[in-house]
Amino acid sequence: MPSTEPAIAVSNLVKHYPGGIAVDGISFAIEPGSIIGLLGGNGAGKTTTIAMIMGLVAPTSGSVRILGHDMPRERYHILHRMNFESPYVEMPHRLTVRQNLSVFARLYGVAARDARIAELAEELDLTELLDRPTGKLSAGQKTRVSLAKALINAPEVLLLDEPTASLDPDTADWVRTHLEHYTAERRATMLLASHNMSEVERLCDRVIMMKRGVIVDDDTPARLLARYGRNNLEEVFLDVARGRGEAAREAVP
């Protein structure tokens, strides 16, 4: 039977650094099989929040539960069921694509590694690139390799940080389509941090908006557009970032 527990549950999460508070008491739950956008300007706390969800950063207080397990205390129970993708995290350039994917497959304990790499290479049009040094690839090719790395263990929870940054429209659309198919077929849960508002509108069932370490709004894209009286999420984002959204939020019962 499918689990009724949230795939990701964040409760009163706080992170203090010597220079200030990065995350200040946020809470949210993400249901299995959903795609959620995490939005906010620079310094909003998105990256710190994702790092705590991944177990890379210990919270000052509060808790994170992934697939029913506490992070980071029980991370070894679930790390093989999660993965992360960002174009800003590069793989070793001298290793071939096959070698890089093999390393990550071993780290995640993937069975039948060669078969899984071949399967992903076929799905992501990487077969002809497998024995090419990763550093010799174009930006779009590197993004497809990064996506293959993120899917190598068929994760149930996928965390994405600007997955289509710097890509041409065709490649970006290809990546989004593949992510849509993957989450639908696997009933995987995806948390997406992005500054591409059209991408968020297309992919996300729900949007969590952060500013200065707190959540300032949380709703479906359609309800956010209606509440702020805007035509697209980029306009909503600007309202929130520039402090013009308080009236709209206070008007909601």
The answer to whether residue 1 scores a pLDDT higher than 50 is no
pLDDT tier, 253 (very low <50, low <70, confident <90, very high otherwise): very low
Q: Is the dihedral of CA 66, 68, 72, 76 positive or negative?
A: negative
Whether the Cβ atoms of residue 81 and residue 67 lie closer than 8 Å to each other: yes
Coil, helix or strand at residue 50? helix
Q: What is the dihedral of CA 130, 135, 139, 142, to 10 degrees?
A: 40
Confidence (pLDDT) at 87: 80
pLDDT tier, 250 (very low <50, low <70, confident <90, very high otherwise): low
Confidence (pLDDT) at 242: 84
Alpha-carbon distance of 168 to 140, in angstroms, equals 8
Q: H/E element holding 107?
A: helix 97-107
Q: Residues 8-250: name the CATH superfamily.
A: P-loop containing nucleotide triphosphate hydrolases (3.40.50.300)
Amino acid at 60: T
CA gyration radius, the chain: 19
The tokens for 128 are 């002809």
Confidence (pLDDT) at 157: 97
Cross-strand partners of 82: 157
Provide the 8-state DSSP code for 56: S
- Average pLDDT (14-27) is 94
* 61-66, strands of its sheet edge to edge: 20-30, 8-17, 61-66, 69-71
- Buried b / exposed e over 164-187, threshold 16 CB at 10 Å, is beebeeebbebbbeebeebbeeee
The answer to whether residue 248 scores a pLDDT higher than 70 is no
Q: What is the pLDDT of residues 39-63, one digit of tens each?
A: 998 889 998 999 999 988 999 999 9
Alpha-carbon distance of 152 to 106, in angstroms, equals 10
The answer to whether residue 25 scores a pLDDT higher than 80 is yes
More confident residue, 200 or 165: 200
φ and ψ at residue 30, rounded to 5 degrees? -120, 125
Alpha-carbon distance of 47 to 193, in angstroms, equals 8
pLDDT tier, 105 (very low <50, low <70, confident <90, very high otherwise): very high
The answer to whether residue 129 scores a pLDDT higher than 80 is yes
Alpha-carbon distance of 90 to 240, in angstroms, equals 32
Q: What average pLDDT does the chain have? A: 90
Alpha-carbon distance of 2 to 31, in angstroms, equals 11
Neighbours of 211 (CB within 10 A): 18
Q: What is the pLDDT of residues 223-241, one digit of tens each?
A: 999 999 999 999 999 998 8
Confidence (pLDDT) at 43: 86
pLDDT tier, 108 (very low <50, low <70, confident <90, very high otherwise): very high
Alpha-carbon distance of 8 to 34, in angstroms, equals 10
Report pTM: 0.88
